[in-house]
């Protein structure tokens, strides 16, 4: 029995000693097993990653400070934070803007027009397109008259194309100011006077697009010397982008100083700005450009099914040879963002829910239903119609150019301007806002944002916002954002923007037409030799072709040359 107890003791004692070791072994085996069966990192497993990111997004957005709100329509990013960026000052301007200023005064080599203008040379032009496209033609007409040493007759506006606006120059612009402010640059007359005791009929002709100084001297001047009066038809983008410095600065003096709206238009526009300021210290002006004609011409598709295809397809028939590829257009950034996408972009940049937005636009495709997605993100949306009475707008409402002028004034006076299409209005305002202090001007980087919007359901709000910030670098209206000479001069007037060298601030009064006020170093543009090696006009004919070969239509009325079926309607629609 003793032996049995000893054997039993010898048998049981090792089991007691092995228990802790076995437990430790089991724990180690379980830990190793967990390493193999646990899910991979979020980035390694697409399905789990998507689910986790959605849960993470809810958690982050609910703890991001401030309230959040439900997104209408789509649920990919189901909650958008209502609060804005902590660095609010950067939303409304650039820290670098004080280092730059507009400088458009002529050099001492630019001779007074009283000495250069020849008494028997008169230039007449007929503009083309909407208000802003016509504005580019007016600016370039002044420069063309200077190149030809001719007097300019106050331009005739396009009254027959897409908008059917019967307004003349003096009903939109302050004619007396236009003439007097440019008197030292170009002689401008209201009507064609008699030459040699008789009134001469103008010789009609058209110059190619992007016509250079040399082009005007070779093509137009010989006819002008012979006929004395030349009328250039469909005058839009008929002057080269690169010119001599003094001519570029003349462009700026016309665009930013000489072209003023009439008193009734200017006063009404300032009333609209005042009413926006009464609602909010800062406000955004949004050129939404989501009209049916714009969407039809872009060839883009926005998910409206057969109804959208039928309606936009009917409008698209105006343009022969237009074969849209909606998916390719979106990938290449040629499609305007939807109102919802604009709202998400602005919120991601840091603009909060309480911001007031002035929407400059014509008829929105889809009406209030289309705007509802933007209004859900930014409830404080306004238009000129909602902040003014019908009686106040009555003098303007029947004229598309006058209504466009009101939008132009408000967009120019806004704290941040957002252009949803890089058309004429967007380009002119971008250039103007650069010239007058680099005010915040946002252009959606549609090419980069498109895939981001497609994939926004697979990331947190913070990740989405971070990528929007990254993609929008270079599209926010910062100084030196565009290289000198790049893009249209009306959009990037680099010759007329100077960088301070003394570190002192300059007021807007330093931009008056006083040659003694220009101090600082101009942002240089690639040099253009005098009439040598310039870019050629866009024409099939040789630039040096004699004037006799110019296409002249002495019978056809000017307005017949700018009908709505013209293939160059692309420029009109981009207004």
Which residues, in sequence order, are bridge partners of residue 101? 498
Contact 416, 404 (CB under 8 A): no
Which neighbouring-strand residues pair with 122?
151, 229
pLDDT of residue 545: 36
Tell me what pLDDT residue 318 has: 77
176, 349, 441, 465 from 86: Cα distances, Å: 48, 11, 20, 14
pLDDT at 484: 82
- Say what angle helices 400-413 and 424-435 make with each other, to 10 degrees: 40
pLDDT of residue 13: 43
Low-confidence ranges of the chain (pLDDT < 50): 1-15, 17, 32, 34-78, 86-87, 505, 507-510, 512-519, 527, 529-535, 539-569, 571-572
> What's the pTM value of the predicted model, to 2 decimals?
0.78
**pLDDT at site 534:** 39
pLDDT at residue number 328: 80
Which domains, ranges and CATH numbers included, belong to the chain? Answer: 89-101+263-499 (no CATH), 113-260 (3.40.50)
DSSP state of 257: I
A 10 A CB-CB count for 218 gives 19
φ/ψ (deg, to 5) at 273:
-60, -45
Whether residue 351 contacts residue 468, with contact meaning beta carbons closer than 8 Å, is answered with: no
């Amino acid at each position: 029995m003793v032996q049995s107890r000893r054997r039993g003791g010898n048998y049981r004692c090792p089991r007691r000693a092995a228990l802790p070791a076995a437990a430790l072994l089991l724990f180690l085996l379980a830990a190793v097993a967990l390493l193999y069966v646990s899910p991979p990192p979020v980035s390694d497993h697409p399905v789990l990653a998507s689910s986790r990111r959605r849960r993470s997004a809810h958690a982050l957005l609910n703890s991001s400070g401030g309230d959040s709100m439900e997104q209408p329509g789509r649920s990919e990013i189901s909650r958008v934070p209502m609060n804005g960026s902590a660095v609010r000052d950067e939303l409304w301007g650039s820290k670098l803007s004080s280092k730059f200023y507009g400088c458009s005064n002529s050099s001492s080599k630019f001779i007074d027009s009283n000495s250069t203008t020849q008494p028997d040379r008169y230039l007449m032009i007929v503009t083309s397109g909407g208000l802003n496209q016509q504005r580019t033609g007016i600016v370039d007409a002044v420069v063309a008259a200077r190149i030809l040493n001719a007097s300019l007759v106050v331009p005739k506006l396009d009254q027959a194309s897409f908008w059917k606006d019967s307004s003349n120059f003096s009903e939109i612009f302050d004619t007396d100011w236009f003439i007097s402010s440019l008197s030292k640059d170009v002689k401008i007359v209201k009507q064609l006077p008699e030459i040699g005791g008789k009134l001469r009929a103008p010789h009609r002709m058209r110059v190619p697009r992007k016509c250079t100084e040399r082009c005007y001297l070779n093509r137009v001047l010989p006819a002008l010397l012979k006929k004395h009066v030349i009328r250039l038809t469909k005058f839009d983008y008929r002057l080269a982008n690169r010119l001599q410095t003094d001519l570029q600065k003349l462009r700026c003096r016309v665009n930013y100083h000489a072209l003023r709206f009439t008193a009734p238009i200017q006063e009404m526009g300032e009333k609209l700005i005042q009413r926006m300021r009464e609602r909010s210290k800062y406000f955004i002006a949004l050129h939404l450009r989501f009209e049916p004609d714009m969407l039809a011409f872009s060839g883009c598709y926005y998910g409206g099914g057969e109804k959208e295809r039928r309606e936009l397809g009917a409008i698209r028939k105006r343009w022969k040879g237009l074969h849209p590829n909606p998916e390719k257009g979106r990938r290449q950034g040629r499609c305007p963002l939807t109102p919802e996408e604009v709202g998400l972009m602005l919120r991601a940049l840091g603009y909060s829910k309480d911001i007031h937005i002035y929407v400059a636009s014509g008829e929105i495709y889809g009406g209030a239903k289309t705007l509802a997605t933007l209004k859900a993100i930014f409830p404080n949306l306004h238009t000129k119609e909602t902040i003014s009475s019908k009686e106040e707008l009555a003098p303007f409402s029947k004229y598309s150019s006058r209504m466009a002028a009101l939008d132009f004034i408000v967009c120019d006076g806004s704290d941040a301007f957002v252009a949803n299409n890089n058309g004429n209005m967007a380009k002119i305002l971008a250039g103007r806002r650069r010239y007058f202090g680099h005010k915040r001007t946002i252009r959606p980087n549609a090419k980069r944002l498109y895939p981001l919007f497609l994939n926004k359901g697979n990331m947190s709000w913070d990740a989405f916002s971070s990528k929007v910030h990254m993609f929008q670098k270079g599209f926010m209206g910062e100084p030196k954002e565009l290289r000198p000479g790049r893009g249209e001069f009306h959009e990037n007037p680099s010759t007329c923007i100077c960088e301070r060298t003394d570190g002192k601030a300059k007021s807007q009064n330093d931009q008056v037409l006083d040659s003694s006020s220009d101090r600082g170093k101009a942002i240089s543009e690639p040099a253009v030799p005098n009439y040598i090696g310039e870019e050629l006009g866009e024409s099939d004919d040789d630039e040096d072709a004699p004037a006799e070969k110019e296409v002249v239509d002495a019978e056809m009325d000017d307005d017949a040359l700018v009908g709505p079926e013209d293939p160059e309607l692309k420029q009109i629609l981009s207004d």
